[in-house]
Chains A and B, each alone.
Chain A
Amino acid sequence: MTAFRSSAGAPPTDPRERLMGGLLLGCTALAAAAAAAVIGALGLETVRFFADVPLSQFLADLAWTPSAEEPGFGILPLLAGTAQIAGGATVMALPVALVLAVFLEFYAGKRTASVMNAAVAALGSVPAVVYGYFALNFVTPALKGVWPGLEAFNGISACLVVGLMILPTIVVLSREALGAVPRSILRQAVALGATRERAVLRLALPAAWLGVLGSVVLAMTRAVGETMIVTLAAGNPTGVSWNPLEGVRTLTSFLAQASMGDLAPGSIEYGACFAVAAVLLLLTFGMHALGRALVSRGHPDGPGGSRS
């Protein structure tokens, strides 16, 4: 790394190298400009919105009904819906994902591991809209057999299927964290007369917990940003409900629904969408950064590690 940096510090003399450097710089600038444009457009409309609606109302109102006669501009109901879906999905995915990660890392034979890895990877490559239809047309009818009072659009079906969608994230990243625990520790534990189960539960999992936590935060980030499944399976009710048998409206499902209608640019509903989008971006950006930090800190080579 250092060698690379120091050689890159001197201006290249070869014209081909200079051309290459220019191209790379151009690509970087393009990506940065695109990101800046998104944030700029979002920020501009958000600032305009807050000129009309005070921030205090945005944070304190208990209703999000921007198109109503007496519009409510409270973000809390949407945040509550997002928290329900992301939290519920994580609660459903985490135990299964953790058991899978431990099994794949410490117990599965090579062949079993590669087959199951492929299966987990396949889960991760299913398009969200397919998951959404699956939730609406298979999971919800199946759940109706258990709870006849289940609404056609409900939170629990969305949680289950979003949980399925984020499962690979937790499995892959937790497995990486477990794999980074020095094998010498586990070997030494067995040499001290411990069973492999004890070595895994008492040493590997605690040593990897930061990375596991990071994988959960990153999986929740995906769940927070998930739109299609929630829109299709949980509907878009205006009220707030904590009953998982009823529909749920999240930041994303509101945005999906609102952007399908024709909102006049400059109208207050139009601005409201940007404000919601800004909140969503802040939330996912923050969670992503936190998750990444945890994953890299959890790695024994990272700053928080305990490499012996």
Chain B
Amino acid sequence: MSARDEGTRTAGDGAVPVLSAEGLTVRFGEKTALSDVSIEIPRGSTVSIIGPAGSGKTTLLRSFNRMNEVIPGSSQAGTIRFAGGDLHSAAMDPAEVRRRIGMVFEDAALFPGSVFDNLAFGLQARGEEGDLHGIAEVALQAVGLWSEDAEILEARASDLSAEERRRMCIARTLALEPDVLLVDEPTSTLDPAAAARVESLIHALRDDYTIVFATCDHTQAGRLSDLTAYLDSGRLLEYGPTQTLFTNPRNPRTEFYLTGRLQ
């Protein structure tokens, strides 16, 4: 941690950051999606990113596993460090980065075929030669989709319910045993009961993973996260312990957002 700490960019507690961004600016063509964002994600913490639509929440998540660079016309300034190394250094294989920093997107993108095919895809891409069924079983158990008869493996992914799809997408990422889990809008498009169940799944995963998630629902951020970052028009306006940020926001815009008065 740097000495010129401004409070907005660190979590305090002296925890070791597993991921950190320094002066991160991301542009898509002429449009600036993120502007000079500096943030540290302590290992083992759960961090929520909140903010109005279009504030750069997804872009920030995607920059953590180098998914912005696959978009034509994107450009980036600043540095991101992962486990002490520069995320964009030549020594970092982007595919390896994406396995270690797994991301679950907002829309459940199903691969054609069975649930097993979906889980095996990333493992096969890694060149995994071990017991794919065993790995899939562990991952499905972790998201509560496993049953003794193993029938789920043969189910067509497109036959799953919205909630099951979301769980399967999380399992697909967990199968690669990532260090960090990025989740974009974990419960959007789910009905309230399913949303509550998926939320408790995320809650259970907090013990095993460093989690960064973006959400439009700031009450969800309050329930799930240790730290909350408030993004506004691509700028990180406030970052700190969730409880502090919710009860005593320093930036008036944060307060406006949280109380629904943001113009």
Across the two chains, which residue of chain B brings its CB closest to A307? B158
Interface residues of chain A, those whose CB is within 8 Å of chain B, are 109, 182, 184-185, 187-196, 198, 202-203, 206-207, 306, 308
Are B107 and A184 in contact (CB-based, < 8 A)? yes
Please list 29 pairs of residues, one from A and one from B, whose beta carbons are closer than 8 Å in the complex, sorted by A's number.
Answer: A185-B110, A187-B105, A188-B105, A188-B109, A188-B111, A189-B111, A189-B121, A190-B67, A190-B70, A191-B67, A191-B173, A193-B95, A193-B96, A193-B98, A193-B99, A193-B125, A193-B126, A194-B121, A196-B70, A202-B121, A203-B111, A203-B112, A203-B121, A206-B112, A306-B112, A306-B158, A308-B109, A308-B158, A308-B165
Which chain B residues border A191 with CB–CB below 8 Å?
Answer: 65, 67, 98, 102-103, 105, 173
Are B109 and A192 in contact (CB-based, < 8 A)? no
Are B125 and A187 in contact (CB-based, < 8 A)? no
Are B95 and A308 in contact (CB-based, < 8 A)? no
Interface residues of chain B, those whose CB is within 8 Å of chain A, are 65, 67, 70, 72, 95-96, 98-99, 102-103, 105, 107-112, 121-122, 125-126, 157-158, 165, 169, 172-173, 176
Report if A306-B65 is in contact (Cβ < 8 Å); known contacts: A192-B99, A192-B172, A194-B95: no
Across the interface, B111 reaches (CB within 8 A) one of A185, A190, A196, namely A185
Across the two chains, which residue of chain B brings its CB closest to A203? B111
Report if A195-B95 is in contact (Cβ < 8 Å); known contacts: A187-B67, A202-B121, A306-B112: yes
Are A184 and B105 in contact (CB-based, < 8 A)? yes
- The A interface, classified by DSSP as helix, strand, loop or mixed, is helix
Report if A187-B70 is in contact (Cβ < 8 Å); known contacts: A193-B126, A195-B125: yes
Q: How many A-B pairs with Cβ below 8 Å?
A: 70
Q: A203 to B108: give the CA distance in the assembly, Å.
A: 15
Q: A308 to B110: give the CA distance in the assembly, Å.
A: 6
Which chain A residues border B173 with CB–CB below 8 Å?
Answer: 191-192
CB distance from A110 to the nearest CB of B (A): 8
Are A308 and B108 in contact (CB-based, < 8 A)? yes
Are B112 and A190 in contact (CB-based, < 8 A)? no
Are B112 and A182 in contact (CB-based, < 8 A)? no
Q: A185 to B103: give the CA distance in the assembly, Å.
A: 13
Q: A192 to B109: give the CA distance in the assembly, Å.
A: 12
Which chain B residues border A203 with CB–CB below 8 Å?
Answer: 111-112, 121
Are A184 and B176 in contact (CB-based, < 8 A)? no
Are B112 and A184 in contact (CB-based, < 8 A)? no
Q: A202 to B96: give the CA distance in the assembly, Å.
A: 19
Q: A198 to B103: give the CA distance in the assembly, Å.
A: 18
Which chain B residues border A189 with CB–CB below 8 Å?
Answer: 111, 121, 125
Are A182 and B109 in contact (CB-based, < 8 A)? yes
Q: A188 to B102: give the CA distance in the assembly, Å.
A: 10
Are B110 and A192 in contact (CB-based, < 8 A)? no
Across the two chains, which residue of chain B brings its CB closest to A110? B72
Which chain A residues border B109 with CB–CB below 8 Å?
Answer: 182, 184-185, 187-188, 308
Q: A189 to B95: give the CA distance in the assembly, Å.
A: 10
CB distance from B167 to the nearest CB of A (A): 14
Q: Which 9 pairs, one residue from A and one from B, show the smallest C-beta to C-beta distance?
A: A192-B122, A194-B125, A184-B109, A188-B109, A193-B99, A308-B110, A193-B95, A193-B98, A185-B109
Which chain B residues border A109 with CB–CB below 8 Å?
Answer: 72
CB distance from A232 to the nearest CB of B (A): 44
Q: A184 to B109: give the CA distance in the assembly, Å.
A: 6
Across the two chains, which residue of chain B brings its CB closest to A186? B109
CB distance from B180 to the nearest CB of A (A): 13
Are A308 and B107 in contact (CB-based, < 8 A)? yes
Are B98 and A190 in contact (CB-based, < 8 A)? yes
Most chain B C-beta atoms within 10 Å of own C-beta, residue among A190, A191, A196, A206 = A191
Across the interface, B125 reaches (CB within 8 A) one of A182, A184, A198, namely A198
Which chain B residues border A306 with CB–CB below 8 Å?
Answer: 110, 112, 158
Across the interface, A193 reaches (CB within 8 A) one of B70, B105, B112, B122, namely B122
Across the two chains, which residue of chain A brings its CB closest to B71? A187
Q: A199 to B48: give the CA distance in the assembly, Å.
A: 30
Q: A99 to B3: give the CA distance in the assembly, Å.
A: 55
Which chain A residues border B108 with CB–CB below 8 Å?
Answer: 308
Which chain A residues border B98 with CB–CB below 8 Å?
Answer: 190-193
Are B70 and A192 in contact (CB-based, < 8 A)? no
CB distance from B128 to the nearest CB of A (A): 11
Most chain B C-beta atoms within 10 Å of own C-beta, residue among A109, A203, A306, A308 = A308
Across the two chains, which residue of chain B brings its CB closest to A209? B112
Beyond the given A191-B67, A191-B102, A192-B98, please list 13 additional residue pairs across the A-B interface where CB-CB is below 8 A. Answer: A185-B109, A185-B110, A188-B105, A188-B109, A188-B169, A189-B121, A190-B67, A192-B122, A193-B125, A194-B122, A203-B111, A306-B158, A308-B157
Which chain A residues border B157 with CB–CB below 8 Å?
Answer: 308
Which chain A residues border B122 with CB–CB below 8 Å?
Answer: 192-194
Across the two chains, which residue of chain B brings its CB closest to A206? B112
CB distance from B133 to the nearest CB of A (A): 18
Which chain A residues border B95 with CB–CB below 8 Å?
Answer: 193-195
CB distance from B105 to the nearest CB of A (A): 6
Which chain B residues border A190 with CB–CB below 8 Å?
Answer: 67, 70, 98
